[in-house]
A and B are shown apart, each in its own frame.
Chain A
Amino acid sequence: AQSVTQPDIHITVSEGASLELRCNYSYGATPYLFWYVQSPGQGLQLLLKYFSGDTLVQGIKGFEAEFKRSQSSFNLRKPSVHWSDAAEYFCAVGPNTGGFKTIFGAGTRLFVKA
């Protein structure tokens, strides 16, 4: 069965500390992988996506993600977190960059403490 697991419901990090959000997926074919961020009262914003090529993908707002096929993982990282990064983060997997059959994880809520 196709699925996305984000093991951490919420994470708290100090401002300036590094961040890693975990994502594991189960998918039959080679998937497109995505990370989205959702701030309160706002829709989803695409941080980055991966399909092929370099397994380390750079995104917006200083985020990056690494695809590890052997571990079926696509973890999101940021070297230094800012208070404005506090939000909900969603990992997603799908057959293309469009909507149909895109499966989202349940999300990880990031809290940033001063």
Chain B
Amino acid sequence: DAGVTQSPTHLIKTRGQQVTLRCSPKSGHDTVSWYQQALGQGPQFIFQYYEEEERQRGNFPDRFSGHQFPNYSSELNVNALLLGDSALYLCASSLPHGTVDETQYFGPGTRLLVL
């Protein structure tokens, strides 16, 4: 049973560039959430996708956007990168909202460094 996978594992970009991170959910899951984990901090919720739509969003600017594909995989896009966007970006998948157990399963993350 494949768990949550993310690509790439590491990425280096410069300020102002754009980046796309990818996530494949755990088998059987159709809900994907994205988190930003800055160094020395706990994860912060960015947004959640279900049925190819953004369903919930945390306190992140519009530079952060996403997409979910029919196979439930997801992308996180960040435009106009800032130095402060350097972080570990985690993807988590779960059964849909309203399911008895929405426990999230996390991927290993993508480490983004913005220079």
Which residues on A are within 8 Å of B, measured CB to CB?
A: 4, 36, 41-46, 49, 90, 92, 96-107
Q: Which of these binds chain A: B13-21, B42-50, B63-71, B78-86?
A: B42-50
The answer to whether A106 and B41 have CB atoms under 8 Å apart is yes
Which residues on B are within 8 Å of A, measured CB to CB?
A: 4, 31, 33, 35, 40-45, 48, 56, 58, 90, 92, 94, 97, 101-109
Nearest CB in chain B: distance from A22 CB, A: 15
Q: Which residues of B contact A97 (CB under 8 A)?
A: 94, 101-104
Closest 6 CB pairs of A and B: A104-B42, A43-B106, A98-B102, A99-B33, A100-B56, A44-B106
Q: Which residues of A contact B48 (CB under 8 A)?
A: 98-100
A96-B102, A98-B102, A99-B92 given; A43·B41 CB < 8 A? no
The answer to whether B45 and A43 have CB atoms under 8 Å apart is no
A99-B45, A102-B45, A104-B44 given; A41·B108 CB < 8 A? yes
The answer to whether A90 and B92 have CB atoms under 8 Å apart is no
Q: Which residues of A contact B35 (CB under 8 A)?
A: 99
The answer to whether A98 and B108 have CB atoms under 8 Å apart is no
Nearest CB in chain A: distance from B46 CB, A: 9
**21 A-B contacts (beta carbon < 8 Å):** A43-B92, A43-B107, A44-B43, A44-B90, A44-B92, A45-B106, A90-B43, A92-B42, A96-B97, A97-B103, A98-B48, A98-B102, A98-B104, A99-B48, A99-B56, A100-B45, A101-B45, A104-B43, A104-B44, A106-B42, A107-B41
Please report the C-alpha to C-alpha distance between residue A105 and residue B41 in the assembled complex, in whole angstroms: 7
Q: Which residues of B contact A101 (CB under 8 A)?
A: 45
Interface hub of A42, A98, A103 (most chain B Cβ within 10 A): A98
Q: Which residue of A lies closest to B35 (CB)?
A: A99
The answer to whether B42 and A98 have CB atoms under 8 Å apart is no
Please report the C-alpha to C-alpha distance between residue A97 and residue B104 in the assembled complex, in whole angstroms: 7
Nearest CB in chain B: distance from A9 CB, A: 8
